[in-house]
């Protein structure tokens, strides 16, 4: 495990530095302390040191009551496989895009009115009158496209790197549900400005859903929430967009991240697995097996038992 900076370790747990380390002089202390007294620390120095300790002490206080540091250390100091590259940041980038959408969405909801007569004017009010309104609205609008692009790129990365295979199938399935929810988020958000474009685009989208087999007509009826797209459709889309979907996405991202931490990330397919490390046995247990049970080009066995060499992809088990 990487060494924590001394500042992050509470004072009582810090190791005392040896002579010659961290500013501790190598030479022995002067024999005659009366003639050669050590430098006295000033009141200011003591206060400064205490101020530096304060955040660590506060964290230690919380940690003593929550015992969270073990979990956090496991989360933050995980081993990653060799060959990890920039493509591995696409999942985190999708996560950041979602967080940006959630934060900007909260501020938009403070000014938006989900009514057929006021939705459009409330958006115009956000853009024209509210402090930084146009900026926040722009971030939310463009951020939606960014999140959709990133989620597809992330899915492509996990597919082409074979990360959907055992034991990560469940994480792939959770990812597929996240993809559907993200697309539904973009679809339901599109109607909210209630201008000509969003109105007609939603009618097209609802009709496309209606063409699906068996559930299609029920789905389009549910989305339309009445015979025509109107006030009830807008309320339904708004509730789905800002309550139902964010809740479901947050819960599924939690499960997705739990599995990423639990299973570790997949090594790139072009990296070779390390030779299995097997303890040196003293005798040959099986004819044709070399001293350490490793048969070049074949499976490793001890006494005829197949060794579990892990996923064979250098993956770290968190």
| Nearest to ligand HEM of 178, 234 (CB atom) | 178
| Nearest to ligand HEM of 157, 224 (CB atom) | 157
| Nearest to ligand HEM of 122, 315 (CB atom) | 315
User: What span, in angstroms and rounded, lies between the C-alpha atoms of 229 and 279?
Assistant: 70
Q: Any bridge partners for residue 301, and if so which?
A: 306
| Nearest to ligand HEM of 75, 305 (CB atom) | 75
Find the shortest distance in angstroms from Cβ 248 to ligand HEM.
11
| Nearest to ligand HEM of 140, 168 (CB atom) | 168
| Nearest to ligand HEM of 89, 232 (CB atom) | 89
Q: What's the sign of the alpha-carbon dihedral 203, 201, 144, 257?
A: positive
Q: Considering only CA atoms, which of 100, 147, 91 is closest in space to residue 260?
A: 91
Q: At what angle do helices 245-263 and 90-109 cross, to 10 degrees?
A: 160
Cα angle 130, 135, 139; round to 5: 130
Q: Considering only CA atoms, which of 65, 29, 92, 262 is closest in space to residue 167?
A: 262
User: What span, in angstroms and rounded, lies between the C-alpha atoms of 195 and 120?
Assistant: 6
User: What span, in angstroms and rounded, lies between the C-alpha atoms of 39 and 61?
Assistant: 32
Find the shortest distance in angstroms from Cβ 155 to ligand HEM.
4
DSSP letter for 306, please. E
The label of the residue with tokens 């230690």 reads 60
User: Greatest CA separation found in the chain?
Assistant: 99
The label of the residue with tokens 């304060």 reads 54
Q: Is 194 exposed, middle or buried (0-12, 13-18, 19+ CB in 10 A)?
A: buried
| Nearest to ligand HEM of 93, 130 (CB atom) | 93
Find the shortest distance in angstroms from Cβ 160 to ligand HEM.
11
Q: Rule CB under 6 A: which residues touch ligand HEM?
A: 88, 90-92, 94-95, 98, 151, 154-155, 158, 161, 163-164, 168, 171-172, 175-176, 178-179, 182, 253, 256, 260, 265-266
Find the shortest distance in angstroms from Cβ 228 to ligand HEM.
33
Q: What's the sign of the alpha-carbon dihedral 29, 30, 33, 39?
A: negative
The label of the residue with tokens 């930084």 reads 132
Find the shortest distance in angstroms from Cβ 277 to ligand HEM.
22
Distance of CA 239 to the CA centre of its chain: 26
Q: Using CB positions, name the residue nearest to ligand HEM.
A: 175
DSSP letter for 305, please. E
| Nearest to ligand HEM of 107, 172 (CB atom) | 172
Find the shortest distance in angstroms from Cβ 95 to ligand HEM.
4
Residue 302: phi and psi, rounded to 5, are: -130, 125
Find the shortest distance in angstroms from Cβ 90 to ligand HEM.
5
Find the shortest distance in angstroms from Cβ 257 to ligand HEM.
6
């Amino acid at each position: 495990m990487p060494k924590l900076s001394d500042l992050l370790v509470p004072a009582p747990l810090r190791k005392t530095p040896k002579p010659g380390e961290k500013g501790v002089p190598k030479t022995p202390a002067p024999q005659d302390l009366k003639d050669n007294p050590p430098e006295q620390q000033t009141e200011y120095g003591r206060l400064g040191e205490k101020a530096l300790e304060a955040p660590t002490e506060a964290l230690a206080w919380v940690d003593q009551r929550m015992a969270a540091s073990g979990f956090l250390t496991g989360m933050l100091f995980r081993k990653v496989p060799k060959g990890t590259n920039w493509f591995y940041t696409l999942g985190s980038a999708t996560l950041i895009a979602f967080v940006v959408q959630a934060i900007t969405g909260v501020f938009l909801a403070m000014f938006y009115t989900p009514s057929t007569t006021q939705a459009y004017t409330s958006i115009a009010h956000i853009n024209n009158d509210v402090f930084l309104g146009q900026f926040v609205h722009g971030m939310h609008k463009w951020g939606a496209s960014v999140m959709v692009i990133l989620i597809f790129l992330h899915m492509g990365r996990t597919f082409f790197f074979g990360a959907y295979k055992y034991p990560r199938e469940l994480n792939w399935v959770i990812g597929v549900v996240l993809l559907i929810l993200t697309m539904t988020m973009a679809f339901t958000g599109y109607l909210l400005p209630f201008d000509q474009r969003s109105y007609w685009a939603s009618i097209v989208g609802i009709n496309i859903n209606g063409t699906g087999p068996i559930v299609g007509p029920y789905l389009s009826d549910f989305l339309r929430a009445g015979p025509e797209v109107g006030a009830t459709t807008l309320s339904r889309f708004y509730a789905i967009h800002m309550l139902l979907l964010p809740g479901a996405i947050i819960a599924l991202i939690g499960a997705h991240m739990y599995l990423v931490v639990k299973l570790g990330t997949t090594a790139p397919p072009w990296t070779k697995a390390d030779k299995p490390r097997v303890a040196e046995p003293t005798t040959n247990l099986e004819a044709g097996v070399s001293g350490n049970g490793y048969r070049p080009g074949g499976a490793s066995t001890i006494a005829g038992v197949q060794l579990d060499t892990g996923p064979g992809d250098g993956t770290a088990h968190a």
